[in-house]
Each structure stands twice: as structure tokens, then as C-alpha cells.
Amino acid sequence: MHNLHIKENKPVVFQELTLEKFRDLMKRYPEGRQKSALVPILLIAQEQTGGFLTVDVLDEIASILQIKPIEVYEVATFYSMFSLGRVGKYVIELCRTGPCAMCGGEEILGYLRNKLRIDVGETTADGLFTLRTVECLAACGNAPVLQVNTEFYEKLTPEKIDRLIDELKSKAGKPIPFEETWAGKFC
Ligand code: FES
């Protein structure tokens, strides 16, 4: 069953600061065009509700934006940065488009799979890392490239991957700094 069929009817309550951020984002667009704020609002909602979007959260966003739930479902299911199921604290998205592939991206993918002992689409048993492949991250000049949550890592080598994974593991028990969250990015 697709996760979009699972509605738990759990109340979704965003903190007042988060709602304020949503209102700020909506104000950036003309009256009646508040749907234009949907992507940043979904990104913030996702990180504030455990890293993935439930139907209840999507419905609450629809209600906040005063649009139909289907309009939110369409966006949440189209873009690769939205998760409709549980993911790790760190979502690693490796670019697999041509320029990155030609600059060693495939080797980096193999290295990551071996290092994390998971395949694409899986999450490590400790709940820390989810591995995904995505299309061009728009940083082709510094290929190969990956994104972890909001942060980019470029000109990847196995040594850089080792350092990155070690660094993320060392921060595993701490909250992600505000400036590295979507809420922080959309200030
Ligand atoms: S091809 Fe990888 S960032 Fe563009």
C-alpha cells in the first residue's frame, strides 16, 4: 500500500515559530498565489515532523495554504527531496547524472554502498543514513557531487567520503545546527 493511502488522523501541531515562518514565506507571493510557497513550506514541515511527510502533515499544509490536498500530494510525490516514509537523520543524495557519472560518481556510489553497507533507497540499521541517487544537483562544475540534508559536498573522493561519514557520525547525538536546516536556510 502506498504511504499516501495511510491517514492516521493524528493532530498535526506546528510550533508558533514554524507557523510564523510559513506565513512569512506565503507573504512573499501575491494575494491568492500562496501555493507558490508550497515547496519551502514542505521542506520545513518535513524536517520538523521527523524527516518525512505523513498524509496528516500534507493535509495540514493544504489547510494552511488553503489549497486542495491533491495539490500538496502532487508536489510531495514529484520531487525527490520529499520523503513519504521514515528516513535516516542524514539523507545522502548522490547525483547520478552524466557529468557526475563521468567524473567518478559511479565509483563514489559503489564506495558509499560498501561503506554504509546499504543499497540505494535503504537506511542504515542505526537510523543515521539513508542513501539515494538523484538527478543533477546543479553543481556539475564540481562533480561528483552529493547533498546531505541541506548541505552540498563536491569534488568527491573516497577520502572525502570517509571524512564526511566520520564527521556526521561524530555529530549523531547532537541536534542539526539551525543554519543547516531548511528553516534556517529560508530566513
Ligand atoms: S551532473 Fe551532477 S551536479 Fe550536475
Domains of the chain: 3-78 (no CATH), 90-170 (3.40.30.10)
pLDDT tops 90 at residue 132: yes
pLDDT tops 90 at residue 5: no
151 burial via Cβ count (<10 Å: 0-12, 13-18, 19+): middle
C-alpha 104 to ligand 1 mean position (Å): 11
Question: Given the CA of residue 99, which atom of ligand 1 is nearest to it?
Answer: 1
Percent over 90 (pLDDT), the chain: 90
Per-residue pLDDT of 121-131, as tens digits, reads: 999 999 999 99
pLDDT value of residue 41: 98
pLDDT bucket at 22, cuts 50 / 70 / 90? very high
CA angle 23, 92, 122 (to 5 degrees): 110
C-alpha 102 to ligand 1 mean position (Å): 10
Dihedral of the CA atoms 122, 124, 127, 131 (nearest 10)?
Answer: -50
pLDDT value of residue 68: 97
pLDDT bucket at 187, cuts 50 / 70 / 90? confident
pLDDT bucket at 11, cuts 50 / 70 / 90? confident
C-alpha 84 to ligand 1 mean position (Å): 25
Which one of 93, 94, 100, 103 would you pick to mutate in the ligand 1 pocket, going by the greatest count of ligand atoms within 8 A of its CB? 100
pLDDT value of residue 9: 78
Pocket around ligand 1: residues whose beta carbon is below 6 Å from it? Answer: 95, 97, 99-100, 136-140, 143, 145
